[in-house]
A and B are shown apart, each in its own frame.
Chain A
């Protein structure tokens, strides 16, 4: 917010005795924080409107008889603001004391403990022991408010962030406040449940543990998690996410701020994309449905493909096909295109992926694949569709297939002569494969996805691989080495730069260094 362009009107604001030039109309809370004045808040959220209900961000503005809520004030010329006077610190402390008055002693059993704003602000700003000796107001504790969410009314500090997320982001006003004073509660609107497709964002914005996700509830303490930046593989929108991992297992996906794509949000569906990563994985290579050493499987795959190509050449026909995946990264797609199209001169290229589904105008795309645009731009036409593939197999126009990560693909396997599969999960495709090589999922891969707007976004491996699992580009490079096709890539970055040199849409994209997972216990309170 502090950055400004010359065209903007700048105003001079004094914050804690120092003069700052800030764009006119900047939110005062953002202005304070941008110049290093740590003003705490509960109800304010960058992506939502400001109701100024928590009174935590009160600051002194010269000329104003009372402290003003900075989240509800815009900077004006010659404004003099104090954020750390004894009076303001006292106000902050007193507001926290109110907030804590009826708060249950739940930290040991609360999922939010460790990333709770209330804990953080109390420790930073209050740190006085309780003065009230009365009995706390009791409210309902485990309220099933929606498909994915449990509400604890006692923990709620009435900041209304969740109500605003429903109103302003999901456009589904399902939550509301009821009753008054210390008996005020958060509840669902009469006749409604918290069931909108963006309901889990309310859990993210909840500064305390009032709204918790049923999925994550009691699965891990947050300070055991480490976060890796990635991109949601659930649809073509490509919401930026953080993958939260503890001991080699993903526990939740949360949105990561990207003003150009998803702002602060993601849909509920996307959050469950991680479930598939751990289940039903193909960990070792297979030949004809039986486990085989990796090098033998690769050699066998090469032999199968070579034979099919030789048979094609002999009979002067084109019955070998390659199936690309709209779920694979740009790097894997590029490596497959280099191997099958440039190297082995396959003439039949198909692209398959998950079926289209519902969509809305907020975030969700109908295209449920993360890299449809990437495949379209990398694989040279003509690219046939999945429907073409089914009919071509049925008619016998194609009888040998090299398939990349399309586990759910079901063709008439009986009509194929040979089927080489690179797959991360077991399924009918792997069962039918002549050779199956285990590859990494999005959660174990470094690479990029191209979203529906053509934006190339980086994903980082959040997990290590097990068994013989490797990134698809590496498996393809191995296969290439057995087929005298040189794909000597040492890293995803090298595949990327090779792809970027050949495809204009990736030309100006920077692959970037690997992201070191942030251990949340060292990351401080996320709040």
Chain B
């Protein structure tokens, strides 16, 4: 029996059934296939993050990939131009909303450099910023690991890690009043001191978090199902990582040893002893392992910071930068005016421009700010780490299976709020 299948006008291929040996059958040559467009997202149950991937698949194989972002665009940069310098903090909360403290700190540092007061921030405030920042980083990594594990079927791990994240967020809530959108940092320091007994609570919580990631480690690291989905999948070369501007755990997984905290120390990071883990192959498992280790390193920083935090002020003593105390505001015209001008006009940042960058949860979080000397930024551009990290998926995904999209995207850890701004 012979059948003729015509795939394209003019070309005839002959497929013979029952006469030839199966082993002679060259599928790719003989079976005409058309690639199929497959749209993953923007709302897909196995992906966390509102994003659309326009895939072109050949069976299960991805031929091309086109990432479409922008579903969480909130005009952060444009809104910032109409907000006073201080009013921008709540907006920064919503960049990487899993680790808002890190965004708060990054933005505050940029404005402080422009104001030329970055060397005058009280030391206690700098330590507090490091502490809340590292707590946020742990929460960020816990979310990434937990959610990615869940998407590969390991639901238990998700519960363990998200529970641990919740303990940390409760601590941040105690400090700032908000579980998620803290708006805790201010230009010139932080808005309130850490409460009595908070440090001890944090230390005991870190113990529990250590147990939780120990459990996750045991459940995942030598788990064959997990390893099969992660090992050798989504490999990014070191060169590409540098060339595409990748930063953070994604870049470090490729062996690129770049951590802003180490390479361009800010706040008091140069006083702490911690290591920057790097991977070797740049696959999903390396990214998992780097994040797991970074959680442990952040805990090291936290323990040192809590041991060494000095007493003192938490906000710079200058009513042109930081609001005067409420007591003063209600009882003296000087503080009242300062308060009024700060709220209505905004603090005045001298004209100039600055690019200031910190290590966010996903990598180098940069703020490029231009001031025209008024109470509002003329331009407030964000360099979101996961914007660059995400872009490389266009190169990484082709050649992988559809099922590989989930762990690979998960390990890039795209946060829509930050990527789309």
Name A's B-contacting residues (CB within 8 A): 100, 103-105, 107-108, 113-114, 118-120, 122-124, 126-130, 223, 521-522, 524-525
The answer to whether A524 and B337 touch across the interface, beta carbons within 8 angstroms, is no
Chain B 329-344 interface mask (CB, 8 Å, partner A; 1/0): 0111111111011001
The answer to whether B333 and A127 touch across the interface, beta carbons within 8 angstroms, is no
Q: In whole angstroms, how far apart are the Cα atoms of A223 and B376 in the complex?
A: 15
Which residues of B sit under 8 angstroms from A130, Cβ to Cβ? Answer: 328, 332-335
B332: contacting residue among A105, A108, A113, A521, CB under 8 A: A105
The answer to whether B337 and A123 touch across the interface, beta carbons within 8 angstroms, is yes
CB distance from A112 to the nearest CB of B (A): 11
The answer to whether A122 and B334 touch across the interface, beta carbons within 8 angstroms, is yes
Q: In whole angstroms, how far apart are the Cα atoms of A104 and B336 in the complex?
A: 10
Q: In whole angstroms, how far apart are the Cα atoms of A223 and B333 in the complex?
A: 20
- Count class of interface residues, chain B: 20 to 34
Which residues of A sit under 8 angstroms from B374, Cβ to Cβ? Answer: 522, 524
B341: contacting residue among A100, A104, A108, A119, CB under 8 A: A119
Segment from B88-96, B109-117, B279-287, B317-325 that makes contact with A: B317-325
The answer to whether B333 and A103 touch across the interface, beta carbons within 8 angstroms, is yes
CB distance from A113 to the nearest CB of B (A): 6
Q: In whole angstroms, how far apart are the Cα atoms of A118 and B345 in the complex?
A: 14
The answer to whether B344 and A521 touch across the interface, beta carbons within 8 angstroms, is yes
Q: In whole angstroms, how far apart are the Cα atoms of A223 and B328 in the complex?
A: 24
CB distance from B350 to the nearest CB of A (A): 12
Q: In whole angstroms, how far apart are the Cα atoms of A128 and B320 in the complex?
A: 9
A123-B337, A127-B338 given; name 13 further pairs at CB < 8 Å: A103-B333, A105-B331, A108-B336, A108-B340, A123-B341, A127-B318, A128-B319, A130-B328, A130-B335, A223-B344, A521-B345, A524-B345, A524-B374
Known contacts A105-B330, A119-B340; A129 and B345 CB within 8 A of each other: no
The answer to whether B336 and A107 touch across the interface, beta carbons within 8 angstroms, is yes
The answer to whether A104 and B333 touch across the interface, beta carbons within 8 angstroms, is yes
A128: contacting residue among B331, B334, B376, CB under 8 A: B334
Q: In whole angstroms, how far apart are the Cα atoms of A100 and B332 in the complex?
A: 9
If over half of A's interface residues share one DSSP class (helix, strand or loop), that class is named, otherwise mixed; here it is loop
Which residues of B sit under 8 angstroms from A522, Cβ to Cβ? Answer: 374, 376
The answer to whether B324 and A129 touch across the interface, beta carbons within 8 angstroms, is yes
- Chain B residue nearest to A102 in the complex (CB): B333
Q: In whole angstroms, how far apart are the Cα atoms of A324 and B318 in the complex?
A: 63
The answer to whether A123 and B345 touch across the interface, beta carbons within 8 angstroms, is yes
Q: Which of B333, B345, B348 has the most CB of A within 10 A?
A: B333
CB distance from A153 to the nearest CB of B (A): 15
Which residues of B sit under 8 angstroms from A128, Cβ to Cβ? Answer: 319, 334
Q: In whole angstroms, how far apart are the Cα atoms of A130 and B319 in the complex?
A: 12
Q: In whole angstroms, how far apart are the Cα atoms of A398 and B240 in the complex?
A: 89
Which residues of B sit under 8 angstroms from A119, Cβ to Cβ? Answer: 337, 340-341
The answer to whether A113 and B319 touch across the interface, beta carbons within 8 angstroms, is no
Known contacts A122-B337, A123-B338; A129 and B319 CB within 8 A of each other: yes
A105: contacting residue among B336, B344, B376, CB under 8 A: B336
Instruction: Please list the 4 inter-chain residue pairs (A to B) with the smallest Cβ-Cβ separation, ordered nearest first.
Output: A130-B332, A123-B341, A130-B334, A107-B340
Known contacts A105-B336, A107-B337, A122-B334; A129 and B344 CB within 8 A of each other: no
- Chain B residue nearest to A128 in the complex (CB): B334
Which residues of B sit under 8 angstroms from A107, Cβ to Cβ? Answer: 333, 336-337, 340
B335: contacting residue among A114, A129, A223, CB under 8 A: A129
Known contacts A123-B345, A524-B345, A524-B374; A129 and B340 CB within 8 A of each other: no
B334: contacting residue among A108, A126, A525, CB under 8 A: A126
Which residues of A sit under 8 angstroms from B340, Cβ to Cβ? Answer: 107-108, 113, 119
The answer to whether A127 and B319 touch across the interface, beta carbons within 8 angstroms, is yes
Which residues of B sit under 8 angstroms from A104, Cβ to Cβ? Answer: 333
